[in-house]
Amino acid sequence: MKILVTGGAGFIGSHVVDAYLERGHDVLVVDDLSTGKRENVNPKARLHALDIRDKKLAEVFATERPDVINHQAAKANLRESMDKPGLYADVNILGSLHLLELSRKHNVKKFIFASTGGAIYGEPEYLPADEMHPVNPLDPYGASKAAFEHYLPVYQANYSIPFTILRYANVYGPRQDPYGEAGVVAIFTVKMLHGEQAIINGSGEQERDFVYVGDVARANLLALDRGDGGFYNIGTGAGTSINDIFSRLKSSTGYEKPDVHGPAKAGEVFKIYLQADRARRELGWQPTTSLEEGLHRTVEYFRTQG
């Protein structure tokens, strides 16, 4: 099967590419390399360095004729989205729609979309949040993901393009960018390994559902032939506080500096974790990597990266 992975040079996307290649699929990557890195791209995959909004993407579709689109590419910095809502709408809605239109014109057989469970539900009315929880994002990033989700059933109904939506919890693991605003595990890990002061935003009692990137890649693998027309939370069902993450990483890295708290960030949900029972029933997916093991793998990755 030939699969086009957008954002395949990025943190999550590169792991998805690896998983597909390991199963023997033919994989091409579309990534503008604004946040993704060439070195993340598996050498067995073919990289097209393009923005998903670029008109040249039509040439890639015409030449490669992919069977499946796995759409991981997005502007994904929640805090940046508060300052640049137009940019997030342009890339995450219009760019994604461009990709979907090309899928229609070139008879793509399936469209897998990486959405967000961490930002789409807003401040939860109940926990863990399941897929039937009201969608009420608090930031333009979450709003842009929610908006594009609505196009997929339209294209399935009118153009017979099956889709599967995966709503990720807070994904962490090797290759995560430690220098952006998102990705607290990577940010803490690198600062601690370098002996720099790591800052906890707010009280640190905020809770997130931390799911290991290898488990997320496996969900994308299962979605190739399951979950048509469905949307699925991909998380652990348990919340972990930022203070707990800080403490675990402090122990793993041998960090000796004191805990320091800074101001809370605008637009952030205080507590969110996801029920993933539907993914277990319909995709055959459940997380298999414990938080302890996942953090250990992440620390060792960044330790070997220097």
Residues marked active site are found at 141
Integer Cα distance of 110 and 112 in angstroms: 7
> Residue 299's closest CA among 240, 256, 246, 249?
249
Element (H, E) at 11: helix 11-22
> Residue 144's closest CA among 182, 89, 107?
89
Integer Cα distance of 259 and 200 in angstroms: 7
| Strand ranges, E, within 96-216 | 110-116, 163-168, 170-172, 199-201, 207-208, 210-212
Q: Are 153 and 213 in contact (CB under 8 A)?
A: no
Amino acid at position 231, single letter: F
